[in-house]
Amino acid sequence: MAAGKGRIGFLVNPIAGMGGPVGLKGTDGLAEEAIAMGARPRAMERARACLDLLSKERDAILFFTASGSMGESCLEECGLDYKVVYSALPVTSSRDTIRTCQAFLDEGVDLILFCGGDGTARDVAGIAGSTPILAIPAGVKMHSGVFAASPQAAADLVIRFLNGELNLRDTEIVDVDEELYRAGILQTKLYALAKTPYLPVLVAERKRIYSSDQEDEFKDQIALFASEFMRDGSAYIIGAGTTTSRIADILGLEKTLLGVDVVKDGRLMITDASEQDLLELLDRETRVMIIISPIGAQGFILGRGNQQLSAEVIRRVGIDKLIIISTPHKLAEIPYLLVDTGDEDLDESLAGKRQVVTGYRIAQMKDTLAASRL
């Protein structure tokens, strides 16, 4: 590593990602609700997974951070050198994020490393200016281009960045447009541009939504095929996205675009299901299958936007009961499918060549990787 210590601003949004498993479309302003619904904090855990790997470079990095759960406690646990530059209130908010980042800039950090989702990315990018930012993925929605593919990949990027091995690129900070979403249209809105260190694959591409006529034709073909094989009497857990929601269209059902729904015998059993709903479903139903689609250009099929499909849900359904669907164009732009259920053993067993339905009675083979292996 180059002479002199690398200066890294490190920030955790402790409530990020809590809404996912309980079926919320984000956690901003809903933390208490999420906790009441049984959500567990996961951002700290993912931050530690990244810091553990950085601890082998501890002599080369000086961290700047905010107090307590916003960074200090993780750094302390991992035995890293740090300086607290902002004192957060016990209940943190987006104002704390912004003020912490301002303090980082005052310290002249080389990189801001944060742990959260699209909401946190909006706050950080809003102030970072030309200072590069990189995110440890821990949110419910992660459509922006600053997210590393996994906490482990984030650590690798930080080390390579400090070694001068990476270039910087501009990337979009986006979030789902909530107004359009309420009107039933899934569209991401651009909020800011940011600089991020870049190595293809290790940083997840900004999520793309295709809308060409050809895409529509393939979605119709896939949905028609699905509507045929779904007549077998099983309960189908259907994940988020425009490809999966076309199945609901063809069955004449109202599907939640960003949520997980359950359909059986052509009828909607559960709308916008939480992890708990799915586990209860599995107590009642003997034959359950899951239909999911990779998320935009990132290639994640589990662990992004569908945290309700937890490791426990997947294990109980059975990994051979996972039906992956994607239009050929979208699949062509993804180097491989990624899984990040938070359970590394399960991710490993999901890895390998998997079949992806790409048309009417047509499928392709695609490599699937555990995100932690990247």
| Contact window for other proteins (CB under 8 A) among 86-94, 132-140, 192-200, 351-359 | 351-359
Among 77, 332, 345, 352, interactor with other proteins by CB under 8 A: 332
Residues 6+ apart with CB under 8 A from 151: 46, 47, 49, 50, 136, 137, 138, 372
Interaction pattern, residues 35-74, with other proteins; x per rule: CB under 8 A: ----------------------------------------
Which is nearer to other proteins, 200 or 233 (by Cβ)? Answer: 233
Say whether residue 364 binds other proteins (CB under 8 A): yes
Shortest reach from residue 360's CB to other proteins, in Å: 8
Kind of pairing between the strands at 235-238 and 261-264: antiparallel
Among 181, 210, 229, 336, interactor with other proteins by CB under 8 A: 229
Say whether residue 182 binds other proteins (CB under 8 A): no
| Contact window for other proteins (CB under 8 A) among 30-38, 116-124, 249-257, 363-371 | 363-371
Among 228, 254, 280, 345, interactor with other proteins by CB under 8 A: 228
309 and 237 in contact (C-beta within 8 Å)? yes
Among 176, 323, 337, 350, interactor with other proteins by CB under 8 A: 323
Provide the terminal-to-terminal Cα distance of the chain, rounded to the nearest Å.
22
Q: How long, in residues, is the chain? A: 374
Say whether residue 361 binds other proteins (CB under 8 A): yes
Shortest reach from residue 229's CB to other proteins, in Å: 4
Nearest-angstrom CA–CA distance, 360 and 220: 9
Say whether residue 225 binds other proteins (CB under 8 A): yes
> How big is the site for other proteins, counted in residues (CB under 8 A)?
19
User: Two tokens at 225?
Assistant: 């095929």
Among 120, 243, 359, 369, interactor with other proteins by CB under 8 A: 359
Which is nearer to other proteins, 54 or 292 (by Cβ)? Answer: 292
6 and 61 in contact (C-beta within 8 Å)? yes
- Work out the number of other CB atoms within 10 angstroms of the CB of residue 31: 20
Say whether residue 155 binds other proteins (CB under 8 A): no
Shortest reach from residue 321's CB to other proteins, in Å: 11
Shortest reach from residue 363's CB to other proteins, in Å: 4
Say whether residue 365 binds other proteins (CB under 8 A): yes
Among 87, 328, 333, 336, interactor with other proteins by CB under 8 A: 328
| Contact window for other proteins (CB under 8 A) among 35-43, 70-78, 201-209, 352-360 | 352-360
Which is nearer to other proteins, 196 or 358 (by Cβ)? Answer: 358
Backbone angles phi, psi at 329, to 5 degrees: -65, -45
Side-chain half-sphere exposure of 272, counting CA atoms within 13 A: 10
Residues 6+ apart with CB under 8 A from 320: none
Question: Which residues contact other proteins (rule: CB under 8 A)?
Answer: 225, 228-229, 231-233, 323, 328, 332, 355, 357-365
